[in-house]
Chain A
Amino acid sequence: MNAIEVTNLSKTYPGGVEAVKGVDFDVAAGEVFGLLGPNGAGKSTTVGMLTTTIQPTTGSARLAGFDVAEEPLDARRVSSVVFQESVVDRSLTGRRNLEIHARLWGGEPREAAAWIDELAGTFGLADLIDRPAGTYSGGQRRRLEIARALVSHPRVLFLDEPTVGLDPRIRAELLELIAGLRSRSELTVLLTTHYLEEAEQLCDRVAIIHAGRIVALDTPAALLAGLGRQLVEIRVEGSVNSALSSLRDRGVAGEDAFAVGSRVTVPLHEHSSGEAIAAIHDLGLAEAITAREPTLDDVYLRLTGDSLAVAA
């Protein structure tokens, strides 16, 4: 049984805004699955529907076999969420925040207390756990929230943009911590992010979501493999379309080459970057040429015509 099953899920908000337009995906138990896309792509709305705080307009979803619309209490019992914004009771201690979660999810107090101590140690919160959460730094509070989400032993953990707003050092720490969750086969993680490196580093599979639709879904390696071993990026002086045609006529670019703005990106499947650069020089098209390895941003760019970093 898949841990998450999503079928034709869509959401149209009052006023007619179609945030999610019929998405389908399954997440196997123990998998770390990423929803990658810019702000407004529909990631948080999808998570909201899966966590029963947003009513789907059409479609269905199941968490550990429980239908989120028909069996919301069971679906919530097997899942936990770490929200995009900080969501803690700041005047209560870290421990109390965790205790409340444990009790509401039906945890036995003595067992929960031991588990909270263990989580506090694991997440580097042991010295802070009895201080009010309002005194924590942003990174500490985020760790507290992840620890809280794990207090109830969820089968499905939703991490909604967990590193947004954190400084690079804390972000790196947190990514390491989230990566640690992957080692436990019983936990399924759905991570939303607009950071490419997070998706590449953490996820077994990634769904690229754009304007409410999933435009690609595969392992990061497979998505990148679609763009060849390397690609050449060319800044063009004149028309990018005629440059693209010339490159295709010359056999340098295939059908997967694409143009955005004044840039033409040419995935290299057969040619080496040296051969491609020499051919482009011969054509006299380029203002600047760069050869590099493809990233998920290139995948996103090819599929949507927009840079993920810019869109985010």
Chain B
Amino acid sequence: MSTAEIAIHVPRARRRALGPLATLARRRFQLTARTPRELFVPLLTPIMFALVIAPALKAALHTDASYESFVAIGTVGLLIPLNTMFAGLSVIVDRISGAQPELLTAPIPRGLLVVGNLVVALAITALQVGVLIAVAVARGIHFNATGTGILWFVAAAVLFTVGMYGLAEILANRVPRQEEYIARVPAIAILPWFLAGALFPITALPGFLTWVAKFLPLTHGLALMRYGLLQDASGLHAVWGQGSTTTMAALSLAVVGCFALLLTAASIRVFSRSAVR
């Protein structure tokens, strides 16, 4: 190794608005792609529900084929929280043994680090939801989607994913170690799923839990997804009562949108504050 002879130039102030974000997202994607558990583990449970447990429940409870479709959408409500929580785990890994300290000294707004991670979490979730639905269709589960319905589904899934990633990012920046993070995942990702009408309508819950369910963003997200892909507005009716279906869908979308907006803003704030001691 020779003695370094380094030419130092004046830095160029060449900035493109999306350049740093694309760099951060690409980095996160490359790191994720080298960690297969982040891609495949979150898929296992929902696929198990959609393909094994739902048909078994249908047979045991003597329900019709629409129950499988009902549960297939319900499992999207499990897949999204699990996947985003796994994505949040990588934030802790990045902080403890990755290059996060280096990124914090980069000449970019620190909120971009959160947005870069979010973009990848969103892309991977979209891929996984696509796989889940494709597998469900291959298994013979029927969906009844129109163009508008798909838009409702996509809007609900995207906004719910954004909100859940915000929650994961907040948690990842609040807890010091992976063990503590993982200990909180069931309460955040799984418990609400049982209350949000994933496996049965929220009206089947005891009265006060029905009211609790109405305040869960996942309840609104699932109602919208079923409305979009199954033309089934019963979830929206269970939340809002009687009224125009489109109005109820718009209201639920607003709830999920607020959830996404608030949690994203909070996650950027929490990250930016925790990045500076």
> Chain A residues in contact with chain B, CB under 8 A?
13, 48, 51-55, 73-74, 76-81, 83, 85, 87-92, 96-97, 100-101, 103-108, 119, 122-124, 143, 148, 150, 152-155, 173, 176-181, 183-184, 186-187
Contact = CB atoms under 8 A, between A and B. Distances in A.
B99 interface: yes
B107 A77 contact: yes
B102 A54 contact: no
B105 A52 contact: yes
Nearest to A185: B8
B13 interface: yes
Interface of B: 1-15, 19-20, 23-24, 27, 30-31, 34-35, 97-109, 275-277
Contact of A97 (B7, B9, B99, B105): B99
Nearest to A177: B4
A176 B13 CA distance: 31
B11 A153 contact: yes
Contacts, number: 134
B98 A184 contact: no
Contacts of A176: 1, 3
Given A89-B98, A103-B19, A106-B14, 14 more contacts: A81-B105, A91-B31, A91-B35, A92-B30, A100-B23, A105-B106, A106-B12, A107-B14, A108-B14, A124-B2, A148-B102, A155-B10, A180-B4, A187-B6
Question: Across chains A and B, which 8 residue pairs bring their CB atoms closest together, nearest first?
Answer: A180-B4, A124-B1, A77-B107, A180-B3, A186-B8, A104-B106, A103-B23, A76-B107
Contacts of A179: 3
29 contacts: A51-B105, A52-B105, A55-B277, A73-B107, A73-B109, A76-B106, A77-B107, A81-B105, A83-B101, A87-B99, A87-B102, A88-B102, A91-B30, A91-B31, A92-B34, A96-B27, A100-B23, A106-B12, A106-B14, A106-B15, A106-B107, A107-B14, A122-B2, A123-B1, A148-B102, A150-B8, A153-B11, A155-B10, A155-B11
Contacts of A97: 99
B31 A92 contact: yes
Contacts of B24: 104
A51 B19 CA distance: 22
A88 B27 CA distance: 12
A257 to B, nearest CB: 41
B93 to A, nearest CB: 10
Contacts of A105: 11, 106-107
Contacts of A53: 101, 104-105, 275-277
Contact of A104 (B5, B12, B23): B23
Nearest to A176: B3
Given A105-B11, A186-B8, A81 B102 contact: yes
Contacts of B6: 119, 122, 150, 180-181, 184, 187
A108 B15 CA distance: 9
A51 B104 CA distance: 9
Contacts of A101: 102, 106
Given A54-B277, A89-B98, A107-B12, A122 B104 contact: no
B31 to A, nearest CB: 6
Contacts of A143: 1
Given A77-B107, A104-B106, A104-B108, A48 B277 contact: yes
A168 to B, nearest CB: 16
Which of A13, A87, A148, A152 has the largest count of B CB atoms less than 10 A from its CB? A87
A154 B1 CA distance: 22
Contacts of B20: 103-104
Contact of A79 (B19, B30, B100, B105): B105
B29 to A, nearest CB: 11
A253 B106 CA distance: 53
Contact of B9 (A55, A104, A153): A153
A139 to B, nearest CB: 10
Contacts of A123: 1, 4
Contacts of A87: 98-102
Which of B2, B13, B27, B99 has the largest count of A CB atoms less than 10 A from its CB? B99
A154 B5 CA distance: 15
A96 B108 CA distance: 19
B3 A177 contact: yes
A91 B97 CA distance: 11
